[in-house]
Amino acid sequence: MALFALVLCLLLATPSLAATGTRDTTIAGQTYALLPIETLAEQLRQSDAPLRYRHTAFAGRLDARLAGIAQVRAPLELEEVFFLDQISFDGVVFRAPVQGTRLCFGRGLSLLGTRFEADLTLEASQWRGPFSANQARFAGRTRLENCHFSATASFIGARFDGPACSLARTRFEEGAFFEEARFAGPADFADVYFEALSSFKHSAWQARASFAGARFKDRSFFWGASFAGPVSFDESRFGSEASFNQARFASPATFRRITFVHPAHFDQVEFTSGADFARSHFKRLADFGDSQAAAPLELGAFFGGDLDLRHCRAPLVDLRVPAGPAPDSLADSSGTARIFLQDSRTDQFLVRWARVAGRLAAPDSADAQSLTPVYAFLEQQFAAQGLGADALACRSAGLEHRRRLLPWTSPEKYLLLGWRLTTGYGASLGQFFLFSAALVLGFALLYRSGRSSFRPLQGARAFSLGSCLLFSLQTFVRVGAPSWRPAGGYRWWALVQGLAGWCAWALFIAALLARMS
């Protein structure tokens, strides 16, 4: 009887699960201790001691302003915590570290104007609702690695003033907005996956930044972004339009082995310490118009679309692709990609003629004259680099371009035509000998057809085919006295051939001088 009374007293003295508000719930096959959100709000409002929660689900909506939470002094340690409803800590000051692992925000999280004065770590966490940290300030180390944002994530105007910020391997399913964000320490966006639009307009990085291996599936905007430290986009992929218009790179910037599936815009970009695009692939337009670089601009990439370098300013522009096998997917297009070089100013322009041949173009088809200084510029560059064959080929292409622009009434057009037929504008001496041989043979056959009009100067010989060839050769090269005298109209044909020979030899000498210059 006494034992029964003792057990009854113990049961009455112990609070029930219902009294404490604690019960279990199952989410995605896992069991969590279910607590009302008011329990957490009360502790955040009053406690200074560390708060630790594991395998817990909080039910209910939390608005820190309505709950009277202006600041949180208690360090937070959360592991596998599920917030079933929307959570808002707008304007709250977290004075102690916040550490969370595998958290889930079912209806989203709002941190508008929130301040984190210590470290913030939210690893392998997910947001099923919208996330907003607009105008938030992160004074400590910030780590949002391996996270998953299923809805829109916004960091507009956020300030990451801590020693480092990392969002490595995080996935953004909807839009990601970092416009006007500021990063004081190194920022790591390596292997981040942006499935929808990503915007970094007018954002600023004061230290090193890395987007190496990042995937931009939709449009990406870095308009007016500022990079004070080194930045790397190596081996990333832009699946849609990429825009870096008016961005500023104060330190070396690398864009190596990148695939730009759609147009890439780098117009009016300033590369103070140069940029490296080695072995990247631009499948469509690569726009570097009005860009400036105070150091070498290395564009050793594969261009499947147009390359625009109009008004580009750089001490050196290098279009040579570094040695190494290129996969078929990185091969140049079949010569349809155009290159615009109007008014580009650089001390050194490193490229081989074979890469730009047939691709130089004017932005306005009616302004074909703008290509004339482009050919002259490239010829000068090839000559300065000791690439005589490339300079000669470029000169020939420039003269052919000029010939096509001249009207049919211009005598220069026909002089250029003759130069082209005889020596390929001085680029091919072999063509001169082939042309000369064809001319000699053609006139020999002409003379053969009128052999009765030719008389030997001495003897009574027949005007055979060999005699025709000899007479034609002597008339063309003006070597030795002809053994035959033409009569009638063939005298005029012999005169025409003699004049053609003089012109051909003059062009031959011009070609020799061009090759020696």
Model confidence at 251: pLDDT above 80 = yes
Residue 197's pLDDT is: 97
Residue 5's pLDDT is: 41
pLDDT over 90 for what percent of the chain?
Answer: 63
Which residues pair with residue 58 across a beta bridge?
35, 83
Model confidence at 6: pLDDT above 60 = no
Residue 198's pLDDT is: 97
Residue 14's pLDDT is: 31
For the chain, the domains span 22-210, 429-516
Residue 111's pLDDT is: 97
| Residue from 355, 265, 274, 358 nearest 308 by CA | 265
Residue 364's pLDDT is: 78
- In terms of CATH architecture, what is 429-516? Orthogonal Bundle (1.10)
Q: Residues 490-503: what's their mean pLDDT?
A: 77
Pairwise CA distance, residues 377 & 371, whole Å: 10
| Residue from 241, 381, 355 nearest 300 by CA | 355
The DSSP secondary structure of 414-451, one letter per residue, reads HHHHHHHHHHTTTT-HHHHHHHHHHHHHHHHHHHHHTG
Residue 331 is given by DSSP the state: S
Give me 463's structure tokens.
């005007």
Q: Residues 132-149: what's their mean pLDDT?
A: 97
Query: Per-residue confidence at 330, pLDDT binned at 50, 70, 90?
Result: very low
Residue 448's pLDDT is: 78
Residue 13's pLDDT is: 33
Q: Which residue has the higher pLDDT, 429 or 34?
A: 34
Reduced to 3 DSSP states, what percent helix, strand and coil does the chain have, rounded to the nearest 5?
30, 25, 45
| Residue from 357, 340, 348 nearest 287 by CA | 340
* pLDDT digit string, tens, across residues 46-104: 889 999 999 999 999 999 999 999 999 999 999 999 999 999 999 999 999 999 999 99
Please state, in angstroms and as integers, the Cα–Cα distance from residue 477 to each residue in 278, 393, 437, 471, 513, following that order: 53, 28, 11, 10, 20
Query: Per-residue confidence at 362, pLDDT binned at 50, 70, 90?
Result: confident
Model confidence at 502: pLDDT above 70 = yes
Least confident piece of the model among 28-37, 57-66, 169-178, 205-214? 28-37
Residue 329's pLDDT is: 37
Instruction: Report the C-alpha dihedral over residues 167, 170, 173, 179, rounded to 10 degrees.
Output: 10
Residue 183's pLDDT is: 98
* pLDDT digit string, tens, across residues 402-457: 888 888 888 888 878 877 777 777 666 666 777 777 878 888 888 877 777 777 77
Q: Residues 263-284: what's their mean pLDDT?
A: 96
Q: Residues 284-302: what's their mean pLDDT?
A: 95
Pairwise CA distance, residues 439 & 452, whole Å: 22
Residue 74's pLDDT is: 95
Residues contacting residue 507 through CB under 8 Å, at least 6 positions apart: 418, 419, 422, 423, 426, 432
Model confidence at 4: pLDDT above 70 = no
* pLDDT digit string, tens, across residues 183-241: 999 999 999 999 999 999 999 999 999 999 999 999 999 999 999 999 999 999 999 99
Residue 18's pLDDT is: 34
Q: What is the mean pLDDT of the chain?
A: 86
Residue 481's pLDDT is: 57
Query: Per-residue confidence at 272, pLDDT binned at 50, 70, 90?
Result: very high
Residue 366's pLDDT is: 66
* pLDDT digit string, tens, across residues 10-25: 333 333 333 344 577 7
Pairwise CA distance, residues 327 & 370, whole Å: 35
Query: Per-residue confidence at 479, pLDDT binned at 50, 70, 90?
Result: low
Residue 26's pLDDT is: 78
Rounded to two decimals, the pTM is 0.80
Rg (Cα) of the chain, in Å, rounded? 39
Residue 324's pLDDT is: 65
Report the range out of 384-398, 416-430, 486-500 with the highest average pLDDT.
384-398
| SS3 state of residue 43 | helix
